[in-house]
Every structure is written in C-alpha cells, then in structure tokens.
Amino acid sequence: MPELGRAALALSLGLALYALVAGAYAAATRRRRLARSAQNALLAAFGSTGVASIVLLGALLRNDFSFTYVAEHTSRELPTPYTISAFWGGQEGSLLLWLLILTGFSAAAVVLSRRSAPDLLPWVVPILGLVATFFAFMLVAVSSPFQTQLAPADGAGLNPSLQNPYMMIHPPCLYLGYVGLTIPFAFAMGALLSRRTDELWIVATRRWTLFAWTALGIGQLLGSHWAYVEVGWGGYYAWDPVENAALMPWLASTAFLHSVMIQEKRGMLKVWNVLLVILAFCLALFGTFLTRSGVISSIHSFTQSPLGGWFLGFICLITLGSVALVISRLPILRSKTRMESLVSREATFLYNNLLLVALCLTILWGVVFPLVSEAVHGEQITVSSPYYNFFLRIFGLPLLLLMAIGPLVAWRRASLRSLGRSFAWPAGIALAVGVVLLILGAGSSWIGLLAYTFSAFVLGSIGYEFVRGTRARRALTGGTWAAAFVELVGRNRRRYGGYIVHAAIVLLAIGIVGSSAYDTVRERTLAPGQTMAVSHYDVKYDQLVRRNGANATEFRAILDVKKNGRSVGTLESGKNSYRAEQQTSNEVGIRSDPLTGEDLYVITDQINQNGTIAFKVLVKPLVNLIWISGFVFLIGSLVALWPSAAEQRRLALRYRELRALARA
Amino acid sequence: MTALALAIGAVLAVACVVFVALPFLREPDPVEDRLDEPGALERRALELAEERDRALAALKELEFDHRTGKISDEDYRELVGPLRARVAEALRALEPHAESTEERVHAAG
C-alpha cells in the first residue's frame, strides 16, 4: 500500500497549503466561510496524515521489506514493540510523526479555540498551515517513508541502542514537546497579525505551553535514563548536541512560563514574551534540524543531506518573519506600567529569565561553535562537557538561589522588614543544612556544598509557603488543616503546582550534584574469582555466562556484591551481540539502593580471550533522585495544568460583557 | 493491492474535499459572510476590563500575602491605598463605556 501512503501525504500537503493560503486570504479579507473552510482543511489534514501513518505502521508490522524504510530499520527477528518504535527510529518516520502530532494538535487547537478565541483563530490557522505545509512538503518531495524497492529476504534491523523500552516512549514524548510549542507560536503570531495584544493569546495557549514544556521535560528525563541504562558509559547526560537540542527549547519555554506571569499580573514584558515564544519554537525547529540534517557530524554532511538546506531556509523564514512582525507591532506592544522595585516578585522573575536565556544561548553557542569553526577555519573544534558544566554552575547556582528567594518576595515591592520575616526560617534551615553537611565532609566539593545549601533554602521556602498559606486559609475558612491545604492548592493551582515543580528541580539538582561531585570511579581487569573494592563496595567477578536472547547473543559477567562487608546479592553486567545488525552493545549492571538513592554501576568494558574482563565500576550517590524528580515534576505540572474553574468563570464573564457591548 | 489503495485514496480525497467545502455547502448564499471583529470601542473596553481584573487580582493577592505574613502591616498599609485607588479608577474607567453602550442602545432603539 505505499501508493495509499503517498496519496495520503500528498493530500495532507494540499490541505495544509489550502489552510495557509485560503486561511490567510480569509483572515485578511474577513471572510467567515472561507476561514471556516481553512479550519476544516487542518482537521482533514490530521485525518489524511493519520491514514499515511497507519499505512507505515501496517508495513512495519507486516515486515513488508518492499518499503525501503521498513527494510532499513527492522528485521524479522526484531521484537514487535521495537518494530513499532522503528516508526520514529529513522528520519522519514520521525518526520511523519512530527506531521501527525502537528496536524493532531492543530485540529485540537482549532476545535478548542472556536469558542474561546474566535477572534484569533482566523490568523492562527494560516500559521499552523505554514508549518504543516513545510513538513508535508518534506515528506512528499524530499524524504518520503513510502519509497519502495525489490523486497530483500530480511531487513537491516534497528540500531541496538534503540532496542530499549525507553525508545517506545522517549522520542514520542520529546516530539509532543517540540511540536506542542508550535501552538503558542501560532497563537502569538495570530495575536500580532490580528493586532490583539491583550491576554487572550496567553490564556488560549497557557495549557499548550505547559503541556509542551512538561512533555519536553519528561522526554529529556526518559532520554537520560535510557542513556544511563542502555548506552553504558556511566552517565546520563553528555551535553551531546542532540540532548542540548531538547534542553534549549525547554529552557526558553521555562523562561516564558515565568515571564508570562508578569504580563498577566502587571501587563508588562509583552515584547519579551512574544520573543521567548518565537525563540522556543525556533529552537524546537533547530533541534529537529540538528538531529535530522546530519550537521552534527560535519557541516559538509549537512550540505549533502537532502533535509539540511530546506530546514535552514525554513528556520530563517520563521525567525526573520516573526521578528519583523514583532517590530511592526511594537507600538501596540508597549507596556504602560513600569517595574516598581528591583526587590519584588516580578524582579526575581526577570532575573530568572535573564539567567535562563543566558544559559540557553550559551548552550546554543556551544552547539553551533564547532559548525562555525569548521565553516570558517575548515577544522571542527569540539565544545565538550567542561564548557557546559562551567556555565551550568555560573547560571544554575544563582537560578537555584532565585528559586528560594522568589516565593518569599511579594509582588510590586518588598521592604527589608518583610523580607527579614519571610527569610528567617528558610535561610536558617539552609544554613543549618550547610553546616551539618560541612561537618559530614561535603566540603570536598564546594560547588556541591553550595548547591546543597541552596537546595535546602529552596525546599525550606517552598515548605514555608505551603505552611503559611494553609494557616492563612484555615484562619479564613476554619475546618481542618487538610481541607485548608486542599483549598489553598485548588484556589491557585499554577502557583502551588509551580512550587511542586521547583521541588522536583531541587531533587534533580541534588541527584546531579551527588552523582557527579561525590561519585567514585574505579577501573580494573579481573579474572574469575578476583575482587575489586570501590568505595564501600566489594565486587567479585564470579563467572562469564553466554545465552541466546530473542535477537542477540548475550554475554554476562556474574558478580557477587558486598556492601560494607555484607553480601547484598549478585549483579549481571556484559554485552549483547546482535545477529541481524552485526553490532555489539554494552549491557550495564546496576544495583540501586532504595534507601539512600545510591547506585552501584558496573560496565563490562572488554571481554578478553583469556577469560579476564576489564570492568569499570562507579558508585553514584543520590543518582536515583534524578528519576524520582521526574514523578514529582509530572505531579507539579498536572496540578498547574488542571483547569481552574474560578479563572474560567472570570474570563467567561469578561468576554460576556464584551459580547454584550458588541451586540449593543 | 494498487487498485484498492487508489480506491481508498480517492475516497479519502473526496471526503476531505467535501469536508473542506462544507461551510460553503451548508450556507451557499449567506446573509452575512464577514468575520466578527472587535471594534475600537470593544478593544478599549477589553483593555479596561483587563486592567480592572488585574487590579482586583493584585488587591486579592496583597490581602492574602498580608494574611500569610509575607507582607508586614506597615508595608500593607503603604501598598493597599494605591491599589484600591487603582481598582476604583479601573472600575470608573469602564463606566463611560457602559454609558456609551446605553446611549448606543437608545440611539439604535
């Protein structure tokens, strides 16, 4: 059925192009039926892209190797879940996933906004149509998943490192984030084009932004865990350009989620907010460009890649077009209010924004510098971890401190006496924690000690906010503490959901600092029966076993592990040799301690002919807090995402008043 | 297989075209085919309504921050006056529009 796939994609392209052209014409000439027709085209594009996706999925599940894509990314031995994940395992499939999610989100945005933001929708549709047209065009003319060939007996299989359960969820999750950022971008541009610079576009896209940001955050954590358990180098984040590609839009949208509150509360930073939305979307496109153009390996491979030039052209078009639009609308974007004090909640948000954007642009420079150096000097100069780690400390520690200070400072302005009262408890807790940690020996890493002290400050200030808020709510309404707490969170889900997310970031910071600043690494070659000591562990290499897996031969070293002299069981670490792919992968052994959050991490570096094995063993304190932070992050995001009935009533009332005015 | 694929593709294309043309098929000859657009008066009223809601929310937030102890009594006294004045100003600013609305209703009637 490749013909059906190709026809469905051609139809998607036609529909997206119609949404762009007819939508723009309808918005410019204020034609109601044509605008509605363009909206329908976006909905229909979702249907036709869905049909194309079903065709590809069917071909993957049937092992139909007459599809070049299926033959290049699967094999008969490949387990079914990984056959499904091969959908996004290659370039063409992942572009199809982009378009499927984009048209799905566009259809949802159209349906949801017909009532809530009818004034913006006519201009939002052509923007969504423009992005969908680009991706549909790439799939039809440049990189089609429906190319056919004479079917070989078997396929090439899937890259072994992609044969991991995380690959079922990590890439789609990231794509939900990348593509989700299209919606706030389209609404921001729609607002500028229709000269509606009021709160409407922010209200219409708040949950889209939060959703995309949550998906990007969770997607990155899943990717980190995948790298940790599957790639087998002992870490979870390598500052790889592909990893940075997801981090940059997340940082930009984090800045936006904070600064947008200043616009809502004070009517300020309208230009800045639009620029952040543009930055986040362009970085999402840039991320896709980085991973799909081949530019990472060399700037020359970019010029050979069929996608590179198109992507770069589209990113330039979007960036220049949207910035030109912002400039043309500057007179209506100017704020009438000014910041009253440099010591206020809005000021802390502004500082946080500057740090987040600075970190984002620093990472961007680290990603593009090798390409620039290669283009200018003909030699690629790699920017490695020390560069990123340096700037993470420079910008990350003040960000952590601001996370502690922000909730304690009032809007508009705060006096020293108010600050003194608010800071006393959290700062006292932080100092006490810092002193205790110093006594316990955490001073071996000053950065670590500082990060832990700031983390305690953040947790102290969050806890204090919850306690003070619950107490005030209880004093107002009476009832139990639990009821007052639930009411407190329910009445301001965004604020308290945000605090829960801050707690997640603190857990993440503690996990990162613990596992990087206080870790232990030992490397040794062991013969069966020999033992190596690593921190408070003794690891004894017992024997090597060989067994046949579903599509690979598995070699496993069996290790006896003792902790503080007491046996805690055995651990397996080794390698898989994949038959169809003819590749080998590291299969690390990890023993997690649920009480301390510590991991014993064993890498089988090399299996020698004489029976000895070169092991690399790491002890990573608190590393499991990184993964736990993902659950806390998700809970906080869900609390913030949950619709607030009071706010919806307020907005409904406002627009009802205006409709009444219009009818009059 | 190719014939079946082409048949499904043709049905899909026809369905999409009909769906896209639906607004024109449903209303071949509409009385009014213009998109609603807020006028200058509505835009101004919207700005004022936003300002009113923002001032009210700020006042509410100040009251709560005072109750939680984040803002001292002295700071509260300093801040609450201007904020209340802003709320009153925002409410007053919306009133002429209500009057003009009434005027327009009378004029239309």
Q: Does B9 touch chain A (CB under 8 A)?
A: yes
pLDDT in tens, A1-42: 889 999 999 999 999 999 999 999 999 999 999 999 999 999
pTM listed for this prediction: 0.91
With pLDDT > 90 as the criterion, what percentage of chain A qualifies?
66
Q: Which residues 81-100 of chain B have a CB within 8 Å of chain A? A: 97
Contacts of B65 in chain A (CB under 8 A): 410-411
Domain that holds residue A103: 1-158
Report if residue A44 sits inside a domain.
Answer: yes
The reply to whether A635 and A615 lie within a common domain is no
Contact B38 A658 (CB under 8 A): yes
**A513, part of any domain:** no
Calculate how close chain A gets to B34, using CA atoms only, in Å. Answer: 5
Q: Which of A41, A415, A661 lies nearest to residue B75, judging by beta carbons?
A: A415
Q: What is the pLDDT of residue A17?
A: 97
Pairing of strands A583-587, A566-578: antiparallel
Same domain, A495 and A530: no
Residue A619 has pLDDT above 60, yes or no: yes
Between chains, do B34 and A198 touch, taking CB under 8 Å as contact? no
Residues 6+ apart with CB under 8 A from A354: none
| Reported confidence tier of residue A662, pLDDT bands at 50, 70, 90 | low
The model's pLDDT over A306-334, given as tens digits with 9 standing for 90+, comes to 788 888 899 999 999 999 999 999 998 88
pLDDT confidence band for B3 (50 / 70 / 90): confident
The pLDDT tens digits of the residues spanning B55-68 come to 888 898 899 888 88
Q: What would the pLDDT profile of A338-381 be if each residue is shown by its tens digit?
A: 888 888 899 999 999 999 999 999 999 999 888 888 878 877 78
Q: With respect to residue A422, please indicate whether it lies within any of the assigned structural domains.
A: no
Q: Which of A102, A128, A158 is the last residue of a domain?
A: A158
Amino acid letter, residue A431: L
Given a contact cutoff of 8 angstroms between Cβ atoms, the answer to whether A396 and A324 are in contact is: no
3-state secondary structure A235-304: CCCCCCHHHHHHHHHHHHHHHHHHHHHHHHHHCCCHHHHHHHHHHHHHHHHHHHHHHHHCCCCCHHHHHH
Give the per-residue pLDDT at A36. Answer: 96
- A24 and A126 in one domain? yes
Please report the DSSP string for A361-427 in residue order.
Answer: HHHHHHHHHHHHHHHHHSS-----HHHHHHHHHHHHHHHHHHHHHGGGSPSS---HHHHHHHHHHHH
Residues A640 and A582 in one domain: no
Chain B CB contacts of A3 under 8 Å are: 2, 5-6, 9
Contact B49 A654 (CB under 8 A): yes
Q: What mean pLDDT comes out for the span A34-52? A: 97
Yes or no, beta carbons of B38 and A662 under 8 Å apart = yes
Mean pLDDT over each residue of chain A, to the nearest integer: 90
Gap from A662 CA to chain B (nearest CA, Å): 7
Mean pLDDT, residues A610-627 taken together: 94
pLDDT number for residue B32: 85
Please answer yes or no on whether A468 and B64 come within 8 Å at the CB atom: no
Instruction: Say if residue A78 is in the same domain as residue A214.
Output: no
- Taking an 8 Å cut-off on Cβ atoms, the answer to whether A7 and B16 are in contact is no
The upper half-sphere exposure of residue A504, i.e. CA atoms within 13 Å in the direction of its Cβ, equals 22
Tokens of A358: 């600075």
Alpha-carbon span A48 to A43, nearest angstrom: 9
Q: Please tell me the distance from the alpha carbon of residue A179 to that of residue A192, in angstroms, as a whole number.
A: 21
A578 and A560, same structural domain?
yes
- CB-nearest to B46 from A122, A418, A658 is A658
Distance separating alpha carbons of residues A619 and A411, to the nearest angstrom = 45
Same structural domain for residues A133 and A9? yes
Show which of A158, A193, A209 is a domain's final residue.
A158
Question: B101 in contact with A at a CB cutoff of 8 Å?
Answer: yes
| Band of pLDDT at residue A664, cut at 50, 70 and 90 | low
H helix count then E strand count, chain B: 3, 0
Q: Which residues on A lie below 8 Å from B20 (Cβ)?
A: 15, 18, 37, 40-41, 44
Q: Quick one: A178 and A280 in the same domain?
A: yes
Determine which of A1, A4, A67 to mutate to test the interface with B (most B C-beta atoms within 10 Å): A4
pLDDT tier for residue B109 given thresholds of 50, 70 and 90: very low
Contact assessment for residue A197 and residue A268, using Cβ atoms and an 8 Å cutoff: no
Q: Could you say which of A43, A418, A471 has the minimum Cβ distance to residue B75?
A: A418
pLDDT digits (tens, 9 = 90+) for A628-647: 999 999 999 999 998 777 77
Q: How confident is the model at residue A335 (pLDDT cuts 50, 70, 90)?
A: confident
pLDDT at A583: 83
Looking at the complex, report in whole angstroms how far the Cα of residue A48 sits from the nearest Cα belonging to chain B.
7
Nearest CA in chain A to B105: A664
Residue A514 lies in a domain: no
Question: Which chain B positions have a beta carbon within 8 Å of A107's beta carbon?
Answer: none
Nearest of A466, A461, A458, A460 to residue A492 by alpha carbon: A466
- Beta carbons of B74 and A7 less than 8 Å apart: no
Beta bridge partners of A23: none
Q: Do A30 and B37 touch (CB under 8 A)?
A: yes
Q: Are residues A466 and A368 in the same domain?
A: no
Q: If you write DSSP's letter for every residue of A541-557 in order, what string do you get?
A: EEEEEEEE-SSEEEEEE
Tell which of B18, B42, B71 to mutate to test the A interface (max A CBs under 10 Å). Answer: B71
Does the beta carbon of B32 lie under 8 angstroms from any beta carbon of chain A?
yes
Residue A616 counted as domain residue:
yes
The confidence band for A561, taking pLDDT boundaries of 50, 70 and 90, is very high
The residue assigned the tokens 């024109």 is: B24
CA A345, A350, A354, A359 dihedral sign is: positive
Q: Give B-chain residues touching A36 at CB under 8 angstroms.
A: 22-23
The H helix count followed by the E strand count for chain A is 22, 9
Q: Cα separation of A466 and A488, whole Å? A: 8
Is the pLDDT at B104 greater than 70, yes or no?
no
Q: What is the mean pLDDT of chain B?
A: 81
Query: Is residue A219 within 8 Å of residue A173, measured between CB atoms?
Result: yes
Helix (H, G, I), strand (E, B) or coil at A179: helix
Q: Are A391 and A457 in the same domain?
A: no
Domain boundary pick from A111, A137, A158: A158
Nearest Cα residue in chain A from B13:
A11
The residue count of chain A comes to: 664
Contact between chains at B34 and A31 (C-beta distance less than 8 A):
yes
CB contact under 8 A, B21 and A44: no
- Which of A119, A267, A415 is opposite residue B72, by nearest beta carbon? A415
In total, the C-beta contacts within 8 angstroms joining chain A to chain B are 162
Distance from CA of B30 to the nearest CA of A (A): 9
Q: Is residue A510 part of a domain?
A: no
Name every chain B residue with its beta carbon within 8 A of the beta carbon of A48: 12, 16
Q: Which residues in chain A are contacts of B57 at CB distance < 8 A? A: 265
* C-beta atoms of A44 and B16 within 8 A: yes
pLDDT at residue A82, as a whole number: 92
| Percent of the residues in chain A that have a pLDDT greater than 70, as a whole number | 97
- For residue A267, is it left (φ>0), alpha (ψ between -120 and 50) or beta? left
A581 in a domain, yes or no? Answer: yes
Chain A neighbors of B6, CB-CB under 8 A: 3-4, 7
A386 alpha carbon, distance to own chain's centre: 22
B18 touches chain A (CB under 8 A): no
Q: Domain total for chain A?
A: 4
CA of A35: which chain B residue's CA is closest?
A: B35
Residues A142 and A2 in one domain: yes
- For residues A398 and A493, state if they share a domain: no
Residues in B closer than 8 angstroms to A424, CB to CB, are none
| A368 closest CA partner among A207, A539, A245 | A245
In single-letter form, the type of residue at position A127 comes to I
**Is residue B105 within 8 angstroms of chain A, CB to CB?**
yes
Euclidean distance between CA atoms A28 and A76, whole angstroms: 54
Interchain contact B29–A (C-beta under 8 A): no
pLDDT bucket at A217, cuts 50 / 70 / 90 = very high
Helices A345-377 and A385-405, interaxial angle, to 10°?
Answer: 170
- Residue A512 in any domain: the answer is no
> Which residues in chain A are contacts of B53 at CB distance < 8 A?
650, 654
SS3 of chain B: helix, strand, coil, percent, to 5: 85, 0, 15
Identify which of A267, A410, A476 has the shortest CB distance to residue B54: A267
Contact A73, A158 (CB under 8 A): yes
Nearest residue of chain A to residue B16 (CA atoms): A44
Residue A319 CA to residue A275 CA, distance in Å, equals 10
